[in-house]
Amino acid sequence: LVNYPRKAVIRCWLCVSTDKDVHVHQLLTKNDRRSVRSEPHDLVVDAKNNFTAVFEGLNIIHAVTKGKKEYLESLHKKKCHIISGYTLDPHICPFDEKDLKNELKAMEKNKAVLFFEAFDFETHEKLCETFSNQIKNSKNVMTNPLKISRQSHKNGSVNGGTEVLLFVEKVTRDIKIRFFEIDETGKECWEDSAILEDLWHQVGIAFRTPRYKDVSVEEDRKVYFQLIRESDGSCSNKMEFYYQPDYRNQSNYAEPVVGKKRRIEEEMYRLESNDFNSNLEAPMDNILLKDVYLPMPKEVGSSSLSGILEDTFGSNSVHGSQQIEDWELPSDLASDCVTSDKKSELKTFVDSSLAEINNKKGGSENYKLDSCLFRCISGSFSPDVFYEILNTVKIENINVQSWKNVYSKTPLHMTIEQGKLEFIEPLLNAGFNVNAVDVNHNSALHLALLYDVKPPITALLKSFGADLAISNYDGEMPIHMGCRLRSISHLNFLVAESEVNCQNKKTGDTPLHIAAKYGYKDVAEILLK
């Protein structure tokens, strides 16, 4: 109590709302002699206690009113007392049993407020009144606090439609799942509602994520979601969710053709050069194509390697994604061993082929290096061609960040998958992004663990800035994958460089959880050190 110098009494009642409509439930407390005391509850305030009233040990006792007249009498008494003022006048309002029953039937029994009154201690004059915040029945499904305990997925596609399962405190269908994003200034910049599919025994929810506002993003976007009860606007705790890019939405995506043969125009793929054997001319029609996919080629400046790619792929294969099984490059040039004389022949061959193709294309000097680099990694060309391409990249300062196939794999990913580990460091030195992720959101470090490369390779990737906190679509960071795969040779390095208690974004498991789940005692010992 403020701004009042004299001794006063603070009284507390239980009401339904701020309209002072009294509640049928009982507000009880225990007095000094352990007996139960009902409403009203009075406390004296003065200068000795700084005019502060502390109501301790109050309990709301739920009244089961069906067929019990004593609750009607108690309700009438409380109503008369509040209207009377400090002293009860039982005759101030008439007792009408029918009206009280109707009032009791319509009463909101799972919500209440505390009503406080202040009176002068001597004169009993009423000074002021106020109400507490609303109190809700935490055990009732319509008013209990909303809480999300666990989620099945912490990431999904930007296209939406990812099925997510939740464990929650009891809810009804009067619920919606709200997704929202918070920008750098702390303001909401996007929101949408998920599609509620199923509610299981009031504690399980199945829903599908909404489509993200921008499906062409190239990196993860962190958003949040929460439950909202539409009847009273109550909100649950917020949970993190990561929208991950879909390679099919990228501008350089070309739809793959699976398991088909394609006739390639003979004019564009005939190798002609008077500097070589006249038998070199070889029609390229009816070549069998494998189901191995390559990226949308990127056009760059001219180079000595351009003819190889033009003669191999041609303009009609810009949207193709297959790997040619039999490419009739002269055997001495396609071999693994290329001498200096043969390198000279290769350049002569390439230059003459480029000139021929440029004539047919109207003088264009552009060529496609990225597809040729993928061929080198798959073993189609000599390693010398691989190093020649990287040399060209450095000399012409070519941006290689978009060099990906339709599975979003970079040459670095392919090098690890193909076991061409000697190519890793040259690719990193050429500027390829060590943290680029494929369609499964695996980085080069994920693949290094998956294919169990030697520990110096993982150390090399880390020295070039490999991010150990990147999660794939299974929610696994490299340390989670290392524990699951029991990669003992890598774990000491991963434990030293990673946050050992980081959680899987999908399951919430820490590395130690994973070790315990699979019974890997040796993994657990490394983690506990």
Mean pLDDT of 258-273: 37
100 pLDDT exceeds 60? Answer: yes
Q: What is the 3-state secondary structure (H, E, C) of 80-97?
A: HHHHHCCCCCCCCCCCCH
Q: Would you state the pLDDT for residue 482?
A: 93
Task: Please report, rounded to a whole number, the percentage of residues in the chain having pLDDT higher than 70.
Answer: 75
Mean pLDDT of 293-303: 45
Q: Would you state the pLDDT for residue 340?
A: 55
User: Which of the four pLDDT bands, split at 50, 70 and 90, describes residue 391?
Assistant: confident
Give per-residue burial for 473-485: e unless 16+ CB within 10 Å, then b.
bbbbbbbbbbbbb
User: Which of the four pLDDT bands, split at 50, 70 and 90, describes residue 505?
Assistant: confident
Task: Please report, rounded to a whole number, the percentage of residues in the chain having pLDDT higher than 90.
Answer: 43
Mean pLDDT of 394-419: 86
Higher pLDDT, 115 or 94: 115
Mean pLDDT of 400-427: 88
Query: DSSP string spanning 52-119?
Result: -----S-EEEPP--TT-HHHHHHHHHHHHHHHH-SS--TTSS---HHHHHHHHHHS-TTEEEEEEEEE
CATH class held by domain 148-245? mainly beta
Domain boundary assignment for the chain? 8-136, 148-245, 266-528
In angstroms, what CA-CA distances link 266 with 287, 320, 359, 372? 11, 16, 16, 20
Contact 192, 210 (CB under 8 A): yes
Weakest-pLDDT range from 88-92, 123-127, 249-253, 340-344: 340-344
Q: Would you state the pLDDT for residue 491?
A: 92
Give the span between the Cα atoms of 169 and 136, in whole angstroms.
Answer: 15
Mean pLDDT of 278-294: 40
Alpha helices, H only, 335-487: 340-360, 369-378, 383-395, 411-418, 424-429, 444-450, 455-463, 478-484
Give the span between the Cα atoms of 29 and 513, in whole angstroms.
Answer: 46
270 pLDDT exceeds 50? Answer: no
Mean pLDDT of 405-421: 89
User: Which of the four pLDDT bands, split at 50, 70 and 90, describes residue 7?
Assistant: very high
296 pLDDT exceeds 90? Answer: no
Q: Would you state the pLDDT for residue 286?
A: 38
Q: Would you state the pLDDT for residue 385?
A: 79
pTM, two decimals, is 0.52
Mean pLDDT of 307-335: 42
Average pLDDT, the chain: 79
Contact 390, 403 (CB under 8 A): no
Q: Would you state the pLDDT for residue 226?
A: 97
CB-side neighbour CA atoms (13 Å) of 394 = 11
User: Which of the four pLDDT bands, split at 50, 70 and 90, describes residue 251?
Assistant: low
pLDDT digits (tens, 9 = 90+) for 325-352: 333 444 544 444 445 555 555 554 444 4
Q: Would you state the pLDDT for residue 369?
A: 72
Q: Would you state the pLDDT for residue 273?
A: 36
Contact 230, 176 (CB under 8 A): yes
Q: Would you state the pLDDT for residue 367?
A: 43
Give the span between the Cα atoms of 265 and 361, in whole angstroms.
Answer: 14
pLDDT digits (tens, 9 = 90+) for 71-98: 888 888 898 999 888 988 877 777 788 8
Q: Sign of the CA dihedral 70, 76, 78, 80?
A: negative
Amino acid identity at 241: F
Q: Which residue has the tokens 């935490």?
A: 138
> 148-245 and 266-528: same fold?
no
Among residues 221, 210, 218, 222, the alpha carbon closest in space to that of 246 is found at: 218
- Give the right CATH number for 266-528 from 1.25.40.20, 1.20.960.40, 3.40.50.300, 1.10.150.120: 1.25.40.20
Higher pLDDT, 71 or 479: 479
379 pLDDT exceeds 90? Answer: no
Q: Would you state the pLDDT for residue 370?
A: 77
pLDDT digits (tens, 9 = 90+) for 220-236: 899 999 999 998 899 99
Mean pLDDT of 507-512: 91
Give the span between the Cα atoms of 485 and 448, in whole angstroms.
Answer: 12
pLDDT digits (tens, 9 = 90+) for 422-441: 999 999 998 899 999 998 89
Q: Would you state the pLDDT for residue 254?
A: 53
Instruction: Please name the fold of domain 8-136.
Output: Immunoglobulin-like (2.60.40)
